[in-house]
């Protein structure tokens, strides 16, 4: 009889999740079994919990274990695994790539056309154990706080988005104060941006952004962004934009306040088709870069930034035992949260 473990499972097509007993995965050749210590709830997990249009399109084979933000330790090694040892602290890159396509061969695995995502296309990490290929295992220094490492996956998205451009001395606009936008604000300040201004409609999350050191947090429902820009000494517009909201209105406003020749990273996924003012983009000579996932070197950058003094603890607002996962998802759905951490300790 197979050994069983606790896991948070999407049981069927429809809203909600269940805590179930499922078999502990057995690592095959080239695979690593990880005992999970901490996990973090991501926006993707909330989509799956709510069973919104994105989830209905992407979760095609329930029941399955969800979750992809985690930290733990190596529990077992499959045949042929080298350079890793049982007991090492690790996390894992959540995008499992083919290693054969052009992008994989040229070091751009974030654009692999055959990507399979942990917790979406295959069983994930909201469980006592998770199994991934050895090539996706990321060693984690023992000096790093596991509560922070638990959301390194999301931190990586923010890192990729923010560090796409040179930030030293630049003025940055971030539209969308979700957890990744707030993390990106901290990265921009750490990396030497002159001014970082973030916009949203959620006062709770704007306050979290203030704790991360932004120069201004603007509720665009009642505040004039251009007036705030003037107060902060911006005369020609923003040099860099990070679009994290997926909102057409936010993106249009961003394009309107960029300086000529400005650069924009696009991470936020819209619920519907986004209308774009191409005239503004063309006439201003703006550069737009779509962002998906992380670059593999982002994992090292994340560790080094935290070790160098980037404090991400203000982003963490809730901590629960995994058996109270419903409280964690309620906090995320309320909009009155940052990152929510689930502990998998006994």
- What the block records as the tokens of 304 is 């080094």
Q: What angle do CA 199, 67, 100 make, to 5 degrees?
A: 95
Q: Where are the beta strands (DSSP E) in the chain?
A: 4-10, 18-23, 31-41, 64-65, 69-77, 89-92, 95-96, 116-117, 129-133, 137-139, 171-175, 195-200, 216-219, 238-243, 258-266, 287-290, 316-321, 339-343
Q: Is 23 helix (H, G, I), strand (E, B) or coil?
A: strand
Q: How does strand 195-200 pair with strand 216-219?
A: parallel
Q: Is 260 exposed, middle or buried (0-12, 13-18, 19+ CB in 10 A)?
A: exposed
Q: Could you give phi then psi for residue 49, rounded to 5 degrees?
A: -60, -45
Selecting among 37, 47, 95, 160, the annotated active-site residue is 47
Question: Alpha-carbon distance 124 to 9, whole Å?
Answer: 9
Phi/psi for 195 (5° steps) reads -130, 135
- CA dihedral (258, 264, 266, 272) positive or negative: positive
Q: Is 47 a catalytic residue?
A: yes
Give the residue from 337, 188, 179 showing the smallest Cα distance to 268. 179
Angle 41-47-53 (CA atoms, 0-180°, nearest 5)? Answer: 170
Active site residues: 44, 47
């Amino acid at each position: 009889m197979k050994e069983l473990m606790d896991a948070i499972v999407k049981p069927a097509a429809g809203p909600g999740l269940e805590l179930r007993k499922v078999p502990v995965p057995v690592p095959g050749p080239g695979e690593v079994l990880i005992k999970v210590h901490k996990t973090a709830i991501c926006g993707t997990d909330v989509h799956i919990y709510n069973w919104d249009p994105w989830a209905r399109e992407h979760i095609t084979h329930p029941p399955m274990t969800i979750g992809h933000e985690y930290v733990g330790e190596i529990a077992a090694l499959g045949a042929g695994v080298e350079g890793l040892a049982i007991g090492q602290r690790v996390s894992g890159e959540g995008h499992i790539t083919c290693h054969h396509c052009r992008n994989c061969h040229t070091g751009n695995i974030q654009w692999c056309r055959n990507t399979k995502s942990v917790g979406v296309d295959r069983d994930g990490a909201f469980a006592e154990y998770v199994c991934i290929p050895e090539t996706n295992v990321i060693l984690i220094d023992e000096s790093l706080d596991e509560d922070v490492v638990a959301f390194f996956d999301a931190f990586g998205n923010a890192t990729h988005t923010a560090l796409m451009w040179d930030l030293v001395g630049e003025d940055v606009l971030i539209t969308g104060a979700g957890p990744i936008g707030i993390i990106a604000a901290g990265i921009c300040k750490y990396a030497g941006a002159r001014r970082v201004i973030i916009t949203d409609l959620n006062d709770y999350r704007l306050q979290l952004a203030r704790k991360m050191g932004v120069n201004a947090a603007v509720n665009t429902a009642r505040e004039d962004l251009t007036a705030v820009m003037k107060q902060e000494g911006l005369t020609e517009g923003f040099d860099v934009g990070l679009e994290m909201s997926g909102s057409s209105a936010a993106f249009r406003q961003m394009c309107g306040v960029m300086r000529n020749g400005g650069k924009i990273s696009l991470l936020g996924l819209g619920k519907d088709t986004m209308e774009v003012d191409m005239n503004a983009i063309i006439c201003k000579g703006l550069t737009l870069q779509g962002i998906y996932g992380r670059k593999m070197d982002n994992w090292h950058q994340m560790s080094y930034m935290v070790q160098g003094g980037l404090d991400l603890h203000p982003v963490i607002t809730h901590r629960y035992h995994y058996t109270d996962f419903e409280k964690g998802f309620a906090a995320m759905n309320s909009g009155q949260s940052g990152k929510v951490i689930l502990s998998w300790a006994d």
